[in-house]
Amino acid sequence: MKPLAQKIWFNGHLTAWENCTVHVMSHALHYGTSVFEGIRVYDTPNGPCGFRLTDHVRRLHDSARIYHFPMPYSVEELVQACRDTVASEGLKSAYIRPLAFLGACGMGVTPSPDAIKTDIMIAAFPWGAYLGEEALEKGVDACVSSWNRVAPNTIPSGAKAGGNYLSGYLIGREARTGGYGEGIALGADGLLSEGAGENLFVVRDHVLMTPPSSSSILQGITRDSVIKLARGLGYEVREQSMTRESLYVADEVFMTGTAAEITPVRSVDGIPTRAAGPGPVTKAVNKAFRGLFDGSTPDRYGWLEPIHQS
Ligand code: PMP
C-alpha cells in the first residue's frame, strides 16, 4: 500500500508511516476487536474544520465502552490528537480515521482484563467521493442484498466496530459483483435497515423517512445532521420502519454517511426511483449540507470545529 500520510498518531505520538506496525498475533486481527471512526475535515471560509469532530470521538468512546475496551485517552485528548494529525499533514480537507484496537494480548477470545491494552491510531489523508463523483452527482444504482444486517442482540450495530464490517463487506461485495454501485440490507425482521456503510432515506410526497434506531443501524452522524437540516428547511422527517417495496415506489432515495456524504440512489434492483436521480428534496438537503462548508448555511449547531485553534 502506498503511504497515505507522512505520519500517523500512534499511542500518543506522531510516528512515521513505516513505523506504525502491529504484531501478527494482535487480537483485533484474529477476532475483529477494534472500534473506529471516520470524520471529514472541510476547507471552510474559517479554515479547515472537522465536521462534528467531538460527536465522532464521543461515538468512538461509546463503541469502546460497549466492548469493555479501556480507553487510555479522554474524548478531549483524542479530539486534540485528531487536530494535531490533520495539522501535521498540512491538510485543508481530509478524512480522519481513528482506530482503537486490542493488540497482542493473548490468544484467547476473552483475554483477562489485566492483559488487555487498547492501542489507538489516528491517520488523516485526502479522500474524495466514496462511491465516486458520478454517484454523488447522478446517483448510484443500488440493490437489496441477500445478506441481512446483524440481528439485535447478536453483534451491536450501534457500535462502530471492525467486526461489523464483515457484514458491510459481504453486502458491498455482492452488490458490486452484480454490477451495482451499493447494496442495501434488510434487518433480521425483513424491514429496511441501511447500506453497507451508509444510512438510508426514502422520500415520498416530500416527506423524508429513515429506518429507526431499532432497525439494526449505526446511528449515523450524517443521518442526524440531515434530519435536523431537513426539518430546518420545513420538511417532515419520520424515523419509521419501512418495507423493501417502499424503495420501489419512492420518489427519491438517498444514502448518508461521512464518506458517502449525501449520495442519491437512482434505482433499486433495476427499478428507477420516480426522480431517477437526485430529486428536489435530495437536492435541497444536499444544498443545505454543502452550504455548511462554504458558509451559505449557518452553522446553527456548532458542527464545524476548527482544526487550527486560536
Ligand atoms: N451505517 C454504517 C454501517 C456505516 O459504516 C456508516 C459510516 N460510518 C454509516 C451508517 C453512516 O454513519 P456516519 O454518518 O456517522 O458516518
86 located within any domain: yes
* Interval between CA 258 and ligand 1 midpoint (Å): 7
Can you tell me the distance from the alpha carbon of 171 to that of 38, in angstroms, rounded to the nearest whole number? 19
How many other β-carbons are positioned within 10 Å of the β-carbon of residue 280? 12
Q: Read off the pLDDT band of 33 (50, 70, 90).
A: very high
| 97 class by beta-carbon count within 10 Å (0-12 exposed, 13-18 middle, 19+ buried) | buried
Q: What are phi and psi of 193, to 5 degrees?
A: -120, -85
C-alpha cell at 245: 417495496
In this prediction, residue 271 carries a pLDDT of: 98
Shared domain for 48 and 29, answered yes or no, is yes
Residue 133 pLDDT more than 90? Answer: no
What is the pLDDT confidence band of residue 59, given thresholds at 50, 70 and 90?
very high
Domain count, the chain: 2
Whether residue 144 sits in one domain with residue 114:
no
Residue 100 included in any domain: yes
Q: What ipTM goes with this model?
A: 0.99
Give distance in angstroms: CA of 149 to centre of ligand 1.
13
Which of 199, 216, 224 has the most ligand 1 atoms within 8 A of CB, as the residue to mutate? Answer: 199
CA–centroid distance for 72 within its chain: 23
Q: State the pLDDT confidence band at 65, using cuts at 50, 70 and 90.
A: very high
Question: Does any domain span residue 307?
Answer: no
**104 and 253 share a domain?**
no
Out of 99, 125, 151, pick the residue that ends a domain: 125
Residue 164 CA: nearest ligand 1 atom is 3
Q: Is residue 157 part of a domain?
A: yes
Grid coordinates belonging to 268: 433499486
pLDDT digits (tens, 9 = 90+) for 74-121: 999 999 999 999 999 999 999 999 999 999 999 999 999 899 999 999
What confidence tier does 262 reach under pLDDT thresholds 50, 70, 90?
Answer: very high
Rounded Cα distance between 212 and 202, Å, is 12
Mean pLDDT across 174-183? 98
Q: Does residue 150 sit in the same domain as residue 284?
A: yes
pLDDT exceeds cutoff 80 at 49 = yes
Overall average pLDDT of the 190-217 stretch: 96
Domain range for 120: 7-125
Q: Which pLDDT score, from 0 to 100, does residue 31 have?
A: 97
Pair 153, 107 in one domain: no
Average pLDDT over residues 187-211: 97
User: Does 308 fall in a domain?
Assistant: no
Residue nearest to atom 3 of ligand 1 (CA): 197
Q: Is position 304 within any domain?
A: no
* Residue at grid coordinates 457500535: 159
Judgement on whether residues 62 and 84 belong to the same structural domain of the protein: yes
The CATH code of the domain that includes 247 is 3.20.10.10
Residue 127: pLDDT above 80?
yes
Domain boundary residue among 105, 125, 145? 125
Residue 160, pLDDT score: 98
| Domain match, 82 and 223 both | no
Residue 193: pLDDT above 90? yes
Annotation says 160 is catalytic: yes
199 alpha carbon – ligand 1 mean position (Å): 6
Instruction: Classify 19 as helix, strand or coil.
Output: helix
Number of DSSP helices (H) and strands (E) in the chain, helices first:
8, 17
CA 158 centroid distance within chain: 12
- In this structure, the answer to whether residues 216 and 249 fall within a common structural domain is yes
| Whether residue 255 sits in one domain with residue 117 | no
Q: Looking at ligand 1, which residue's alpha carbon is closest to its atom 9?
A: 198
Beta-sheet strands, E only, within the chain: 7-10, 13-16, 34-36, 39-44, 47-51, 94-102, 118-125, 140-144, 182-186, 192-195, 199-204, 207-210, 236-239, 252-257, 261-268, 271-272, 304-306
* Whether the CB of 257 sits within 6 Å of ligand 1: yes
CA dihedral (281, 48, 197, 282) in degrees, to 10, reads 10
Q: 107: domain CATH number? A: 3.30.470.10
pLDDT, mean over the chain: 96
| Residue 295 pLDDT greater than 90, yes or no | yes
User: For residue 222, how far is its CA from the centre of ligand 1 (angstroms)?
Assistant: 8
The one catalytic residue in 2, 117, 160, 283 is 160
Which residue, 91, 125, 159, sits at the end of a domain?
Answer: 125
195 and 138 co-located in one domain = yes
176 within domain boundaries: yes
pLDDT for residue 310 is more than 80: no
Structural domain contains residue 310? no
Provide the grid cell at 260.
Answer: 458517502
Q: Which of 41, 51, 198 to mutate to test the pocket of ligand 1 (most atoms within 8 A of CB)?
A: 198
> Do 27 and 106 belong to one domain?
yes
What is the reported pLDDT for 176?
97
Q: 54-58, 121-125, 132-136, 258-262: which range is least confident on average?
A: 132-136
Sign of CA dihedral 40, 41, 42, 45: positive
pLDDT score of 129:
81
Same-domain pairing of 169 and 116 = no
| Predicted TM-score of the model (pTM) | 0.97
Of 4, 34, 28, 29, the closest CA to residue 16 belongs to 4
- The CB density around residue 234, as the number of other CB atoms within 10 Å, is 8
Would you state the pLDDT for residue 128?
A: 85
The answer to whether the CB of 168 is under 6 A from ligand 1 is yes
Do 184 and 143 meet the contact criterion of CB atoms below 8 Å apart? yes
